[in-house]
């Protein structure tokens, strides 16, 4: 018995930590079915599907959600494209200032969000654009902080790519363009998709930077922030649960697809 325990001690402890990270998640899921007795009482008073059936009961919440989705989608798109190009440049090309470029990519990740947000705000104010704070400034900020994460993800995927594969393609009569589209790109694609998923969740989740640069717009995290004093509607938990399920589905599907590819026809 002790031997069994000693053998599995680390695993059990690890699973314990994992379980701890799921306690708040479990509460979120649970509360999405809650029927609160009053608006700002946070106890589980009764089971209901009401919140799931009426997600947009509070129109402001859904408006904020829509904005977050739009920003998240656009920021992901732009950051993924620019970041992928930069990732290729950094791994596959030699140019003056390559190490400065690497530093430039690294720094935004080393800066606390509050610093990034206040810097941008002072720029927009100095440029006389404080009246224009809103959708576009949020988008600019989100692309900025997602960019570095995309570059880093794509860069490491590319660096891990065995370059003899590209040599083999060239050896087998593939022109540089064919080598790129038939060998390099398909092999880097999972990294790019991962980077996009990461971008989206960073963008969707950001509060600190957005709050400083949003003008009169309200994103989903800002809505939660604003609503929590008066009592957050239970639908917020529904959104949290949906986000969780959605991303789990994406990740698990991705993993299963790549496994099936590896194992097919065994």
Partner 1 sequence: MTQAAQAVPETATLAAEPSGSRRRRGRTGYLLMLPATLWLLLFFVVPFYSLVATSLFDASGSDFRGYEMTYAWGNYVDVVEAYWQPFLRSLWYAALATGICLVLGYVLAYAIAFKAGRWKWLLLVLVIAPFFTSFLVRTLSWQLILSDEGFVVDALQFLRVLGPDDRLLATPVAVVAGLAYNFLPFMVLPLFASLDKIDPRLVEASSDLYAHPFVGFWKVTWPLSLPGVVSGTLLTFIPAAGDYINAEFLGSTNQRVIGNVIQGQFIDANNSPVAAALSVLLMVLIVAMVLVYVRRAGTEELL
Partner 2 sequence: MPPSADTAATGAPAPAAPDAGPGGSDGGLRLSSLTKRYANGFTAVHDLDLDVPRGSFIALLGPSGCGKTTTLRMVAGLEVPTSGRITLAGQDITDRRAHQRPVNTVFQNYALFPHLDIYENVAFGLRRRKVRDVESKVRAMLELVELDSQARKRPAQLSGGQQQRVALARALINEPEVLLLDEPLGALDLKLRRSMQIEIKRIQVEVGLTFMHVTHDQEEAMTMADTVAVMNGGVIEQLGAPAELYENPRSTFVANFLGQSNLIEGRVLSRSADVTTLDMHGITVSVPTARTHTDGDRGWIGIRPEKVLIGEEGADLDAPGNTVPGGVVSDVSFVGVSTQYLVRMPWGQELQVFSQNTGRTRMFTVGEKVELSWRPEYAFCLDINQDAAAGVDDGETR
Within residues 141-180, the interface with partner 2 by CB under 8 A covers: 162, 164-165, 167-176, 178-179
Alpha carbon distance 136, 196 (integer Å): 20
CB of 98 to partner 2, least distance (A): 16
By C-beta, is 162 or 216 nearer to partner 2?
162
Which of 129, 187, 242, 243 binds partner 2 (CB under 8 A)? It is 187
Select from 25-33, 46-54, 56-64, 69-77 the region that touches partner 1 (CB under 8 A): 25-33
CB of 190 to partner 2, least distance (A): 10
Counting beta carbons within 10 angstroms of the beta carbon of residue 259, is it exposed (0 to 12), middle (13 to 18) or buried (19 or more)? exposed
129 lines the binding site for partner 2 (CB under 8 A)? no
The entry of partner 1, partner 2, none that residue 263 binds, CB within 5 to 8 Å by partner kind: partner 2
Which of 49, 172, 251, 257 binds partner 1 (CB under 8 A)? It is 251
Which of 186, 231, 246, 257 binds partner 2 (CB under 8 A)? It is 186
| Residues in region 154-183 near partner 1 by CB under 8 A | 163, 166-167, 170
CB of 127 to partner 1, least distance (A): 8
CB of 59 to partner 1, least distance (A): 19
Alpha carbon distance 176, 169 (integer Å): 9
| Size of interface with partner 2, in residues (CB under 8 A) | 25
Does the CA dihedral 234-49-240-42 come out positive or negative? positive
Nearest by Cα to 217 from 136, 142, 114, 123: 136
Sole residue written with tokens 């991962």: 194
228 by DSSP, 3-state: which? coil
- Which own/partner pairs from 217-222 qualify as long-range (CB within 8 Å, at least 24 positions apart)? 217/67, 217/134, 217/135, 217/138, 218/60, 218/63, 218/64, 218/67, 219/64, 219/67, 219/68, 219/71, 219/138, 220/61, 220/64, 220/65, 220/67, 220/68, 221/68, 222/64
Whether residue 240 contacts residue 30, with contact meaning beta carbons closer than 8 Å, is answered with no
Which of 74, 129, 144, 187 binds partner 1 (CB under 8 A)? It is 144
Binding mask 98-137 for partner 1 (x = CB under 8 A): x--x-xxxxxxxxxxxxxx-xxxxxx-xx---x-------
Q: Which two tokens stand for residue 250?
A: 């994406």
Which of 62, 89, 129, 161 binds partner 1 (CB under 8 A)? It is 89
Alpha carbon distance 158, 33 (integer Å): 44
What is the contact surface with partner 2 in residues (CB under 8 A)? 162, 164-165, 167-176, 178-179, 182-183, 186-187, 261-266
């Amino acid at each position: 018995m002790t031997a069994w325990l000693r053998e599995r001690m680390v695993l059990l402890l690890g699973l314990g930590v994992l379980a701890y990270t799921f306690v708040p998640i479990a509460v979120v899921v649970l509360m999405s079915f809650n029927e609160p007795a009053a608006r700002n009482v946070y106890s589980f008073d009764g089971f209901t599907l009401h919140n799931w059936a009426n997600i947009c009961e509070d129109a402001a919440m859904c408006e904020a959600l829509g904005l977050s989705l739009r920003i998240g989608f656009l920021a992901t798109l732009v950051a993924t494209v620019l970041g992928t190009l930069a990732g290729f440049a950094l791994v596959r090309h030699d140019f003056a200032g390559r190490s400065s470029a690497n530093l430039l990519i690294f720094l935004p990740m080393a800066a606390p969000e509050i610093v990034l947000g206040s810097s941008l705000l002072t720029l927009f104010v100095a440029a006389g654009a404080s009246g224009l704070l809103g959708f576009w400034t949020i988008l600019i900020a989100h692309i900025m902080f997602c960019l570095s994460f995309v570059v880093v993800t794509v860069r490491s995927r590319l660096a891990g790519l065995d370059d003899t594969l590209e040599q083999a393609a060239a050896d087998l009569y593939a022109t540089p363009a064919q080598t790129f589209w038939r060998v390099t790109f398909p092999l880097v694609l999972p990294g790019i998709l991962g980077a996009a998923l990461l971008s989206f969740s960073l963008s969707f989740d950001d509060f600190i930077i957005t709050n400083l640069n949003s003008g009169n717009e309200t994103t989903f995290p800002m809505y939660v922030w604003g609503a929590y004093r008066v009592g957050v509607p239970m639908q917020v938990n529904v959104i949290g649960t949906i986000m969780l399920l959605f991303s789990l589905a994406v990740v698990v599907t991705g993993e299963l697809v790549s496994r099936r590819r590896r194992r097919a026809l065994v």
